[in-house]
Structure 1
Amino acid sequence: MLQRIQTVYLTIVLVSVAVLPYFFPLWKLEGKDTMFNKTILYVVFFGLSTALTAMSIISFKKRQHQFVLNRINIILNLILLGLFVYRSLNLSGETEKVSEKGIGMFLPILSIVFLVLANKAIKKDEDLVKSVDRLR
């Protein structure tokens, strides 16, 4: 059923990985915003995360499949976050170029939080179904 709470969580994840990267810069270099689409690696990771989230929303009848897709998506977002942290630590210092971290670097954290909440809700639904099956 699409009207479950995990669908709301997954929709928030879908918005945070598919729409918000176009509006929030990852960092600023010399006063210019650097968006995610400047590097093909970030485009691929955001695209894969979007596809996994959409597949997870569509597969609402298969809770275990949805749970596994969300776990893979969490791992993907952790890799993306690691890439952002690596890049931000390698940004040049304030001596020669002025650099500033943007709010777009925190989008994977938002995605991870809501994916964990969605997995908790899926697990709760699965436990409820198992308990009802035991009563039959």
Structure 2
Amino acid sequence: MIQRVQTIFLFLITVAMGIALTNPLWEKAGTKSPEMAHLTALQYTAQQSVATQPGLPAQTLPTTYIDSLWYLALLIALVGLSAFYAIFQYKNRLTQTALCAVNALMLTAIMGIILYQTLYAGKGYGNPADQGTFLTGFYAIIAALVFNALANRFIRRDEKLVRGSDRLR
């Protein structure tokens, strides 16, 4: 039945992935005012000020470095779509469990990509001691990890209940 508790958690995974796609994941301020680095699901952007000519005072031009992260957005969208698909697989709890396991692997890959981009690629930008600030999109992914674990737990509990009642017949 679609009104089970795991349906709520699977729907919340879908919502969390939508939030992660639309909101920034991380940002870091540089040492000077216009310098800033941003990480979203689609791209990593770093803006720096570069002197126009060495030795001349105070004429700087902002330069922007953009790195496309389409694979991160694709993984986030796949997690959201597979969680949404798992909602309607309520008659086949083994399929729901398998989809939750695949979601857990994809969410782990997403976290690995984000942590690599923020802790290693973003470390060379600005102050190396400053790790930057994680934003709403990052916390939505962490919430999706928790919701996925809870959905998997309730799906397994339902499967155990059904198997126990089949033995009594």
What TM-score do you get using the length of structure 2 for normalisation?
0.72
1:111 Cα offset (Å): 1.1
SS in 2 for 1:83: helix
Indicate whether 1:101 and 2:133 are aligned: yes
Q: Distance in 1 between matches of 2:26 and 2:157?
A: 38
Residues 25-83 of structure 1 deviation map (CA, whole Å, 9 limit, x = unaligned): 11225346432122201111111111211111121111010000001000100011011
Q: How far apart are the structure 2 equivalents of 1:73 and 1:2?
A: 20
Between the two structures, name the one with larger relative contact order (CA 8 Å, sep ≥ 6): 1
Aligned residue runs from structure 1 range 21-32, under 5 A: 21-22=21-22, 24-29=23-28, 30-31=35-36
Distance in 1 of aligned mates of 2:165 and 2:88: 24
Q: Which amino acid aligns with 2:153?
A: K
Identity %: 28
What is the CA–CA distance in structure 2 between the aligned matches of 1:60 and 1:134, rounded to whole Å? 21
Structure-2 separation of matches of 1:122 and 1:102: 31
Q: Which runs of 5+ in 1 are unaligned?
A: none
Match of 2:42 in 1: 37
Equivalent position of 2:155 in the other structure: 122
Q: Which has the higher helix share?
A: 1
1:110 counterpart = 2:130: no
Q: Distance in 1 between matches of 2:131 and 2:145?
A: 26
The correspondence for 2:119, drawn from 61, 82, 89, is 89
Q: Which residue of 2 aligns with 1:16?
A: 16
Q: List runs of 5+ in structure 2 lacking aligned partners.
A: 29-34, 44-68
Q: Secondary structure at the match of 1:7?
A: helix
Between Structure 1 and Structure 2, the one with more strand by share is 2
Identify if the C-alpha distance between structure 1 residues 89 and 131 changes in structure 2 by more than 3 Å, giving closer, same or farther. Answer: same
Conserved? CA contact 1:93–1:99, under 8 Å = no
* Structure whose CA Rg is larger: 2
- The amino acid across from 1:50 in the alignment is G
Q: Deviations over 1:90-117 (max 9, x none)?
A: 2034338x87232222332211111110
RMSD: 2.0
